[in-house]
Homo-oligomer: A and B are copies of this chain.
Amino acid sequence: MPAERRTDDLGCENGGMATAEEFTPESERVMNTLRDEIIDGTRAPGSKLVEREIAAELGVSRLPVRDALRSLVSEGLVTPRPRTWAVVREFSQSDVSDLNEVRSALETLAFRLAAERRTRAGLAKLRADLDEQQAASERGDGGAARRKAADFHQTVTELADNALLSELDGILQSRLRWLLGQHDDLDVFAHEHEELYLAIEARDVQRVDELAAQHLATSRAKIAAHRRNAAGAE
């Protein structure tokens, strides 16, 4: 059954991979701003998100802010409280393990499919992401390294050639970046990504599964450590 794999990107308002021509609604800009502020900690978990305030800050009206807030809610970064202001989501321990369980299933699938369906062009893109990540990692640019690591994962889901998987993984990824915080284990992640890349290139599904499991474990440990830090600092 030759599924006519069109690269018809299903639209979704998650910023990033929508690749709309040039048109970016104001609401999307607001959403990205807000997301960044949440992820980098400018807006702490539990803090109020008042439509009018945000609208005033960003110089737009309430509507784009409402839209952005709703999108962020469906992304799981914001908790809505009907009739009252929304708040930046606070992740409980069980939220974290929930995320880990789901992510485990989805990322394992992504890596496996990527190994099976990788193309030459896709592989090149993956290699490029990895090179940039490693370069950033070596020169100690944590921000860039983390960003490129995220790109690596994004590209893996593209290799998997499953739009739905990409979409879901994107949502999970934004929560993840947040939960991971500004970690500094740059080289560990770079190394694991390198091995993953090799296994995908070799189409070694078995090894990809193993490496994915280990990568997940590393990530889980890092999240736990970050949360302990955050709890301790408080």
Interface residues of A (CB under 8 A from B): 1, 3-6, 8, 10-13, 20, 23, 25, 66-67, 70-71, 73-74, 76, 79-83, 89, 92-95, 97-99, 101-102, 105-106, 108-109, 113, 162-165, 167-168
B12 pairs with A101, CB closer than 8 A: no
Of the residues B12, B94, B162, contact of A73 by C-beta under 8 Å: B12
Integer count of this chain's copies in the complex = 2
CA distance A23 to B98 in the complex (A): 27
Q: Contact at A94–B10, with CB atoms within 8 Å?
A: no
- A167 proximity list for chain B (CB < 8 A): 76
Q: Given contacts A11-B73, A101-B165, could you give 11 more A-B pairs where the C-beta distance is less than 8 Å? A: A3-B94, A3-B97, A6-B92, A11-B79, A11-B81, A13-B80, A23-B83, A70-B70, A76-B167, A95-B164, A101-B164
Q: Which of A97, A101, A109 neighbours the largest number of chain B CB atoms within 10 Å of its CB?
A: A101
Q: Which B residues touch A113, using CB under 8 A?
A: 101
Separation in Å of the A19 CB from the closest CB of chain B?
A: 12
Known: A106-B102, A165-B101. Contact between A11 and B95, CB under 8 A? no
Contacts of A1 in B (CB 8 A): 93
CB-defined contacts of A95 to chain B, threshold 8 Å? 10, 163-164
